[in-house]
Chain A
Amino acid sequence: MIVGERKPFDEIKAKVSDYRKVLVLGCGTCVAVCMAGGEKEVELLASQLRLASRMDKKEIEFAEHTIVRQCDREYTEPILEKLGEYDAVLSLACGAGVQLVSDVVEDVAVLPALNTRFIGSTREEGVWIERCRSCGDCVLGDTGGICPLTICPKGLVNGPCGGTNDGKCEVTSEKDCAWTTIYNRLDKQGKLDNIRRIFSPIKYSAQTTPGLQVNEAYLKVETEGTDGQ
């Protein structure tokens, strides 16, 4: 999932202070799971903002709404009319959600209430850990299901650096060395040969920004359309 965290309250408050009608818009998928942008968090943030604006003697109306996914037109387009009723939308989605909502309602300011952190998984209740850098060339099949590009701060693909110590990372002794972990797991699986070959440098051309992914079936339709012109 995409993991996010709420921005500092004062930063959010300052950003909405120039508007009169603000829709606090939650996202019911990833950021709801990581307790940053779902229905509950929308309710909490809207209440805090109402209280703060009263204290500041400002007349700002804060409405609340949460949709299934802000990053999907299927869910954002149906609320287009509703969005148009506000001066600003305060989005509790990840950066992708904020941008899609902004694309849908171009004449309304869409403001982020979260900082998007990473693609991660749940480590324990309330704790999420980064697990994928979306490099576009997955090596997990060779590395025992542990991503060296994400877990190793240097993103090394051919083994540990000289900074690893007692199985811990050079950068912080609180983290395990990615390559020691990979080695131990493959050793258990009897698959150390997986990592004896020299892995090539990462192809950064596969990471052109912004990334664009077209489903093969849809790519064909598009080509046919072009051919017909």
Chain B
Amino acid sequence: MASRSFKEALDSGDFVVTSEVGPPKGTNIEEMLHHIDLLKDKVDGINTTDNQSSVMRISSLAVCHLAQERGAEAILQVTCRDRNRMALESELLSANILGVHNVLCLTGDYVSVGDHPDAKPVFDLDSVHLIQTVRTMEQGKDIAGNELNGPTRFCVGAIVTPEANPIEPQLLKFEKKIRAGIDFVQTQAIYDLDNFKRFMQYARRFEVKILAGIILLTGVGMARYMNANVPGVVVPDQLIRELAGAPKGQALQTGIAIAGRMIRQIKDERICDGVHIMAIGHEGLVPQILETAGL
């Protein structure tokens, strides 16, 4: 078992570190288990993604269960795309009985961006409703008002995109998520710490722990791709030049150095409460990023 729960880590005031694994598409889970084992003692929580990017994969809950069995503290990502309110509530009950007590509530990408574009998009609830649902079930009732035989208990998180353009409608929703009752926030990837500090000046007023999203840049191509295609992610020119100037074959190491440096600065200046590291496809490199950050 992890030495402390994710909620205890958040409440401790320590700088909190989470990371994530993406469940594979298929039954071969060897590599994923290896990543869980690599990360479990180095981070305070491991997110398991929920049909990430609308691509059908092993369920987030099944992987959470396996991660917990291996001693990790799992954070269940749940999107509203694939399940109606009954299935979502059922999933939350199931998570609790399997010992999973952390949940990250997300809207979910639209189906058309993934590998089943003809599937029915559900979105019966939105992310604000999902947070309310978790909180309602903790009071011993489902959202239709029926009694539960045993309430749930969760540490609840949500996401925000600090670099969204325009930001105002995004913050309107962010504040609804806070009112619905969240314990922590993972941000979309941030790369410009001055911009992020300005966001934190605004966000500090809320009683919620904020973990800055750090996505490992694997090269200049990825940085440019994210700028062009990922909403609310801005990689500044300065970092693109740094990646472009890396010696041949060293771009990934430069990306690790950038991530490590950012994490170190966030921690040293206590810009926010922690970081959520996403090394998409390179989960095995997270320990190296942490080492570079001095963690």
Contacts and interface: CB of A to CB of B under 8 A. Distances in A.
A197 to B, nearest CB: 8
A161 interface: yes
Nearest to A163: B231
B273 to A, nearest CB: 20
A119 interface: no
Chain A interface category by residue count = 20 to 34
Interface in A134-153: 153
Interface string B140-161: 0001000000000000000111
Interface stretch (A66-74, A78-86, A90-98, A165-173): A165-173
A62 interface: no
Interface in B112-133: 112-113, 121, 123-129, 132
A16 to B, nearest CB: 29
A153 B110 contact: yes
Contacts of A164: 164, 169-170, 231
Interface stretch (B20-28, B172-180, B197-205, B285-293): B172-180
A159 B176 contact: yes
B138 interface: no
A158 interface: yes
A151 to B, nearest CB: 13
Contacts of A158: 126-129, 173, 176
Contacts of A153: 110, 112, 121
B126 A157 contact: yes
A179 B169 contact: yes
Name the prevailing secondary structure of the A interface residues. Answer: loop
Interface string B67-96: 000000000000011000100000000000
B132 A163 contact: no
A162 B109 CA distance: 9
Contacts of B180: 198
A167 B126 contact: no
Which has the most chain A C-beta neighbours within 10 Å: B165, B176, B231?
B231
Contacts of A200: 129
Interface string A158-202: 111111111100110000010110110001000010011010111
A161 B111 CA distance: 14
A181 to B, nearest CB: 9
B232 A154 contact: no
B126 A156 contact: yes
Contact of B107 (A161, A165, A171): A161
A198 B169 contact: no
Nearest to B112: A171
A229 to B, nearest CB: 35
Contacts of B132: 198
B115 to A, nearest CB: 16
A179 B171 CA distance: 12
B126 to A, nearest CB: 5
18 contacts: A153-B112, A154-B110, A159-B172, A160-B169, A160-B170, A162-B107, A162-B188, A162-B231, A165-B165, A166-B165, A179-B173, A183-B169, A195-B172, A196-B172, A198-B128, A198-B132, A201-B129, A202-B124
Interface of A: 153-167, 170-171, 177, 179-180, 182-183, 187, 192, 195-196, 198, 200-202, 204
Interface of B: 80-81, 85, 107, 109-110, 112-113, 121, 123-129, 132, 143, 159-161, 164-166, 168-170, 172-173, 175-176, 179-180, 188, 231-232
Which 8 pairs between the two chains have the least Cβ-Cβ distance?
Answer: A159-B173, A165-B231, A183-B169, A161-B107, A158-B128, A154-B123, A156-B126, A162-B161
